[in-house]
Amino acid sequence: MNQKSTTQVPVPAHDFGVLLSPTARGARLARLLAVEWLRSRELPYGVAEAAAQIVAEFAANAATHGRVSGRNFRVALRISPEALRIEVTDTRGERLPRLRPASPEGDSGRGLLMVEALADRWGVELGPVPGKTVWAELTLPQP
């Protein structure tokens, strides 16, 4: 009998990760999956809501500005005793996000201002080449 043996690496229960297509549909799915995972972790309402908004913004940016045909973007959520970390990795390391003043007439350009207001910390890490990871952390209330 010829059987293939595959080994799955278990993902810790406090981590979530998924690869999605860099499309509007992929960005929407990122938010929906993150909301469901966050709901199952019973995080405080304010933290879960802020995280959902940040995932939506980072995923939309990955699908819009970080898009490379045929390359997915990755969403990862990690919970530690101190914080929830949100990471979105795309393959456009040369296009770094930056805060800029939003035009009152414009219909875009406010997303990172929202992230700045909601997150306790956020930033960008280069790599793996040719990509980048945009991350945000939300401090968890201590008992």
For 83-103, what is each residue's pLDDT tens digit? 999 999 999 888 888 777 766
Q: Is the pLDDT of residue 68 over 60?
A: yes
Residue 97 and residue 134 in contact, taking contact as beta carbons nearer than 8 Å? yes
Q: Where residue 2 falls among pLDDT bands split at 50, 70, 90?
A: very low
Q: Average pLDDT, stretch 75-80?
A: 96
Res 126: pLDDT: 94
Res 9: pLDDT: 46
Percent of the chain with pLDDT over 90: 64
Q: Average pLDDT, stretch 138-142?
A: 94
Burial class (CB in 10 A: 0-12, 13-18, 19+), 127: exposed
The rounded distance, in Å, linking the Cα atoms of 122 and 132 is 13
Q: Which helix (H) or strand (E) holds 4?
A: none
Give the least confident one: 62-76, 86-100, 103-117.
103-117
Q: Average pLDDT, stretch 23-33?
A: 96
Non-local (6+) Cβ contacts of 142 within 8 A are 82
